[in-house]
Amino acid sequence: MTTAAFKGSWLCPDEASRERLLDMEPRVRTRRRGAFAFLAVALLACGPWVGWWTLGALAAAGTGFAVADRCAARVSRPEYAIAAAWLLSEIMIAASVAGTGGPRSPAVGWFAIPIVTLSSRFDRRAVLVGVALAVTMLAAVTLGVDARAVRAQPQYILFPLAAIGAVAILSIALMESELEHRSESALDDLTGLLNRRALTGRVAEIAQQAQVAGHPVGVIVGDIDHFKAVNDAQGHATGDLVLVEVAHVLRQTLRAFDLSYRIGGEEFLVLLPGADSDEAAAVAERLRQAIEACPMPCGGVTMSFGVASTNGGPMEWDRLFGSADAALYDAKRAGRNRVVRADAEQTPVVPAAA
């Protein structure tokens, strides 16, 4: 497994935004299925008048989201898979509108439906881009199909435009409120890392992904060595600076989809979707070396790490975390500044570099 600095994207520029996306996607997924069922019933009822082929467009959109759900658990930037599925849903709506009368289509107002889900996953910029794409497609399938009808009766385009704009404005307001409360509850005030509350929600999602995909999940628990001595000798202000610097090193050293958490005091946790025991231990050793090499406000700082991983089966979080935590204490007892795996009976302690 290769590691690299956290790489944001235009859609998810930081860890918190990607965490929000991954947390909200399964919630949206459940409701989306219900919405698709309502749309399918409407299309079935109207099939004799608008044609049965529109069910194929709905099925294509549903397939796109199903593929995106699977890809999101495996790729380093899941936001692109989810955004592609969203775009496909708008394209399928455009195809349905074009094929059922253009500006006169009873489905023309459906362009506003996908706008609702944008704000639950992405920030204001992405919502505005999504609105622009929806408006462009709306114009293409109304003016492009029957511009004369639109000129004669502008309400054909003005009403759905108003619906898209109103939905976007309301959804942005809800997004801003949700982001404010999420930031207050999910982020550690000092380091900016995700906190234990955020970890609880993410664990449930990763457990579900692990069960479906059969991939292993690695966990690293790390603790700053002799941190109490730093606080006692140089004060809590210096100790806070050390915590901030450690958090920065973690962010810069991990892969894009490895999420780091401060779970209390000087203790940190890293989730590694797809990592077996060997890979998780390699990541932990990379972190250990990066911390040891980093200039700190109080001089040299080291960390000890405990590592555990599932074998690709169902993830029992309490057991997995307990194993990593026990390995961390073994690292402390063995002399600190080292990595210990939970399967230490097969794998010896990784000693500190000379």
Domain encompassing residue 233: 196-341
Domain check: are 126 and 215 in the same one?
no
In a domain, 9, yes or no: no
pLDDT, residue 286, reads 94
Q: Which residue has the tokens 């590694």?
A: 272
Domain check: are 242 and 133 in the same one?
no
Residue 101 reports pLDDT greater than 90: yes
Residue from 316, 112, 67 nearest 210 by CA: 316
CB-side exposure of 42: number of CA atoms within 13 Å?
10
Domain check: are 237 and 329 in the same one?
yes
**Higher confidence at residue 86 or residue 173?**
86
Percent of the chain clearing pLDDT 70 (strictly above): 92
Percent of the chain clearing pLDDT 90 (strictly above): 57
Beta strand ranges found along the chain (DSSP E): 217-224, 259-264, 267-273, 303-309, 339-341
How many CB atoms lie under 10 A from the CB of residue 264? 12
Q: What is the mean pLDDT of the chain?
A: 87
pLDDT, residue 177, reads 76
Domain check: are 37 and 120 in the same one?
yes
pLDDT digits (tens, 9 = 90+) for 122-152: 988 999 999 999 999 999 999 999 999 999 9
Indicate the pLDDT class of residue 352, thresholds 50, 70 and 90.
Answer: very low
The lowest-confidence range among 64-73, 175-184, 333-342 is: 175-184
Domain check: are 162 and 212 in the same one?
no
Domain check: are 48 and 179 in the same one?
yes
Q: Determine how β-strand 303-309 pairs with β-strand 217-224.
A: antiparallel
Q: Which residue has the tokens 């435009």?
A: 161
pLDDT digits (tens, 9 = 90+) for 252-283: 898 766 789 999 899 999 999 888 999 999 99
The Cα–Cα gap between 222 and 220 comes to 6
Which among 75-89, 138-152, 186-200, 228-242 has the top mean pLDDT? 138-152
Q: How many domains does the chain have?
A: 2
Which residue, 119, 152, 186, sits at the end of a domain?
186
Mean pLDDT, rounded, for 151-166: 96
Domain check: are 127 and 214 in the same one?
no
Mean pLDDT, rounded, for 212-221: 88
In a domain, 8, yes or no: no
In a domain, 350, yes or no: no
The Cα–Cα gap between 65 and 58 comes to 11
In a domain, 351, yes or no: no
Indicate the pLDDT class of residue 350, thresholds 50, 70 and 90.
Answer: very low
**Higher confidence at residue 210 or residue 310?**
310
pLDDT, residue 185, reads 67
Residue 48 reports pLDDT greater than 70: yes
**Chain-centre distance for alpha carbon 157:** 35
Domain check: are 203 and 178 in the same one?
no
Q: Are 352 and 293 in contact (CB under 8 A)?
A: no
Domain check: are 60 and 174 in the same one?
yes
Domain check: are 61 and 94 in the same one?
yes
In a domain, 191, yes or no: no
pLDDT, residue 181, reads 64
Domain check: are 221 and 336 in the same one?
yes
In a domain, 353, yes or no: no
Which residue, 125, 160, 186, sits at the end of a domain?
186
Domain check: are 200 and 181 in the same one?
no
Kindly report the CATH number assigned to the domain that includes residue 279: 3.30.70.270
